[in-house]
Structure 1
Amino acid sequence: MSDLKAIEYKRFEDIKHINENGSEYWSARELAFALDYVQWRNFEKVIKRAMIACENS
Structure 2
Amino acid sequence: MESLPEGSEILLMLVAVSGVSTWYLSNFTQNETAVRLTAIIGVASMMALLGLVLL
Fold match (TM-score > 0.5): no
TM-score scaled by length of structure 1: 0.38
TM-score scaled by length of structure 2: 0.39
Which structure has more helix as a fraction of its residues? 2
Which structure has more strand as a fraction of its residues? 1
